[in-house]
Chains A and B, each alone.
Chain A
Amino acid sequence: MTAIPTAESLAGEHHDADHHDVAPLRKTAMWVFLGSECILFGAMIATFLLYRSTTADGPTAQELFKIPFTSASSFVLLMSSLTMVLAHNAFERKDMRRARIFLLGTALLGATFLAGQIFEFTDFVHEGLTPQVSPFGSSFYMLTGFHGAHVFIGVMLLTAMYVLSLSGRLYEDRGLNVELVGLYWHFVDIVWIVIFTVVYLLQV
């Protein structure tokens, strides 16, 4: 007996067809976005390099930066890229349980990095580095704060994916959603690779 298609199933098929049609477009759009973000972060890194020595009466990078602590934070973010790619890999293999664990792990590692950044900012403010005290302070907080905002958005996206997967709404044929969030997350990681070297290691 042939099953009669319902309005819901037809709508679903139509939606799936749409999804596959626009998939390359969505991925292309994500790469265009990431390319443009290179220019945005490049502008902020260049501004930091321009003002890195203009500390006025405020503390200098050498007096403030605690490399062991920032190294640990950097390592946490780097490892979150590993858990993200493992989540995507598990999703492609339709291993939803493992994908869910790695998604949650990535969100937690991202949240740990953010907690470290909040701790570091609080410490710097107590040491006298505020955004108002010097051009060095302004450009430092602008760059690292903007990166932190990107991490926060990433953690929100990962949490949303995790919640969707728990409620069974992160479908196995929608791997592109996980891939796009993954691309965004890895980008946040590579920006930090540059910031850690240029802003921290090269200034101490």
Chain B
Amino acid sequence: MATSAHPTPRFYWTVALVLAVVTGAEIAVGVMEVFASVKVAGLLVLSGLKFAAVVAFFMHLRFDKPLYRSLFLIGLFGAIPIFVVFLLTFEALI
């Protein structure tokens, strides 16, 4: 099923360590007194990194069939513009 060999447990521990560090950075940015726009951008970037790491390595999309990646991305990138437009319509975007 997989298109290439799956990583070793050591690799997964490394990814988890990186995720833990990014979570720490996220909390630090969250409680820091900085400009709102800097805070929002920083948190969204860090959150996006964690999201991508889990999907790519823990869910194996990085190593699996391109079909699975397409199916997931259709849902993900189909949802984002729909709800951004929805929130812009009601002037409720962050």
Contact = CB atoms under 8 A, between A and B. Distances in A.
B38 interface: no
Contacts of B82: 39, 42
Contact of B27 (A71, A82, A89): A71
Given A75-B23, A86-B9, A89-B12, A36 B75 contact: yes
A17 B40 CA distance: 51
Interface string B79-94: 1101100110010111
A193 B72 contact: no
A183 B59 contact: yes
A27 B68 contact: yes
B43 A89 contact: no
Interface in A33-78: 34-39, 42-43, 45-46, 49-50, 67, 71, 74-75, 78
Given A28-B67, A204-B31, 18 more contacts: A34-B75, A38-B79, A42-B82, A67-B30, A74-B23, A79-B16, A85-B57, A86-B12, A89-B9, A182-B58, A183-B59, A186-B58, A189-B58, A193-B50, A197-B43, A201-B26, A201-B29, A201-B30
Interface of B: 1, 6, 8-9, 12-13, 15-16, 19-20, 23, 26-27, 29-31, 39-40, 43-44, 46-47, 50-51, 54-55, 57-59, 67-68, 71-76, 78-80, 82-83, 86-87, 90, 92-94
